[in-house]
Amino acid sequence: DSGVTQTPKHLITATGQRVTLRCSPRSGDLSVYWYQQSLDQGLQFLIQYYNGEERAKGNILERFSAQQFPDLHSELNLSSLELGDSALYFCASSLGLAGEQFFGPGTRLTVL
Amino acid sequence: GEDVEQSLFLSVREGDSSVINCTYTDSSSTYLYWYKQEPGAGLQLLTYIFSNMDMKQDQRLTVLLNKKDKHLSLRIADTQTGDSAIYFCAESHRGSSNTGKLIFGQGTTLQVKP
């Protein structure tokens, strides 16, 4: 158990809908990262937050947004969902701006 | 640019050593990581090496880094069936923006035959 929690574990929804994925980092970690894992793209970095502020952006679509709250948990919002958004979404956390990242169990999103 | 390459599949017999290889392109990488993913599970951090090191050993795991060739390897001694999983190599470099984003390889599926 990495100490990073993610909810829900599975999510099934329809095209055009909006969903919110939630992540709680390990106790004491200030950075939260979001990654997407799909068969065709592999593991792709989406976005990083550090102590409530956006720190780095990767291949994140404009339809996706994230935030980190004062209690350091983070949410990833995916809107206008398309079939191609079906993937495993991982959250990871680290103590500081960089360094060892510990991953949560992931949220499997299926868009029908 | 940022790119990490791994071979896709490796099959070994139980008790043998496994060597999983990885190449990367970013010479400014500061940390290189190995993660393990079992079916239906998240990524487990196995070990990492700082870019100014050549080797790191941690129980059955040995990481070798050749900076000149930008080549990283993970050796698993006495491989067990429980080691069957997908192994990901990842690099990070802080860069000017001081961020820890990871760039992952495609993953190597390790199959351990009894």
**DSSP per residue over B9-62, as a string?**
EEEEETTS-EEEEEEE--TT--EEEEEEE-TT--EEEEEEEETT-SEEEETTEE
Contacts of A97 in chain B (CB under 8 A): 94, 98-100
Contacts of B31 in chain A (CB under 8 A): 98-99
What's residue B12's pLDDT?
Answer: 97
Rounded average pLDDT over B46-75: 94
> Which candidate from A2, A97, A104 shows the least CB-CB separation from B100?
A97
What's residue B25's pLDDT?
Answer: 85
Q: How confident is residue B40, by pLDDT bands cut at 50, 70 and 90?
A: confident
Rounded average pLDDT over B97-108: 86
What's residue B97's pLDDT?
Answer: 62
Determine how β-strand A10-13 pairs with β-strand A19-24: unpaired
**Residue B60 reports pLDDT greater than 90:** yes
- The parts of chain A modelled with pLDDT lower than 70 are none
Determine how β-strand B43-50 pairs with β-strand B103-104: unpaired
CB contact under 8 A, B100 and A104: no
Contacts of A58 in chain B (CB under 8 A): 101
Q: Does A24 touch chain B (CB under 8 A)?
A: no
**Residue B96 reports pLDDT greater than 60:** no
- Interacting residues of B59 by C-beta distance below 8 A, sequence separation 6+: none
What's residue B92's pLDDT?
Answer: 87
CB contact under 8 A, B48 and A48: no
What's residue A105's pLDDT?
Answer: 95
What's residue A41's pLDDT?
Answer: 87
**Residue B29 reports pLDDT greater than 80:** no
**Residue B98 reports pLDDT greater than 80:** no
Residue B23 has a CB neighbour count (10 Å cut-off) of 17
CB contact under 8 A, B41 and A105: yes
What's residue B94's pLDDT?
Answer: 65
What's residue B18's pLDDT?
Answer: 97
Q: How confident is residue B78, by pLDDT bands cut at 50, 70 and 90?
A: very high
CB contact under 8 A, A98 and B99: yes
- Give the best residue of A2, A101, A102 to mutate against chain B (max B CB count within 10 A): A101
Residue B80 has a CB neighbour count (10 Å cut-off) of 12
Identify the three-state secondary structure at position B81.
helix
Give how far the C-alpha of residue A51 lies from the chain's centroid of Cα atoms, to the nearest Å. 16
Rounded average pLDDT over B8-36: 92
Q: Does A55 touch chain B (CB under 8 A)?
A: yes
> Which candidate from B43, B48, B103 shows the least CB-CB separation from A103?
B43
Q: Does B97 touch chain A (CB under 8 A)?
A: yes
Contacts of B89 in chain A (CB under 8 A): none
Report the number of secondary-structure helices (H) and strands (E) in chain A.
Answer: 0, 11
**Residue B95 reports pLDDT greater than 70:** no
Q: Does A100 touch chain B (CB under 8 A)?
A: yes
Rounded average pLDDT over B56-75: 95
What's residue A97's pLDDT?
Answer: 87
**Residue B1 reports pLDDT greater than 60:** no
Rounded average pLDDT over B33-55: 92
pLDDT top residue among B85 and B3: B85
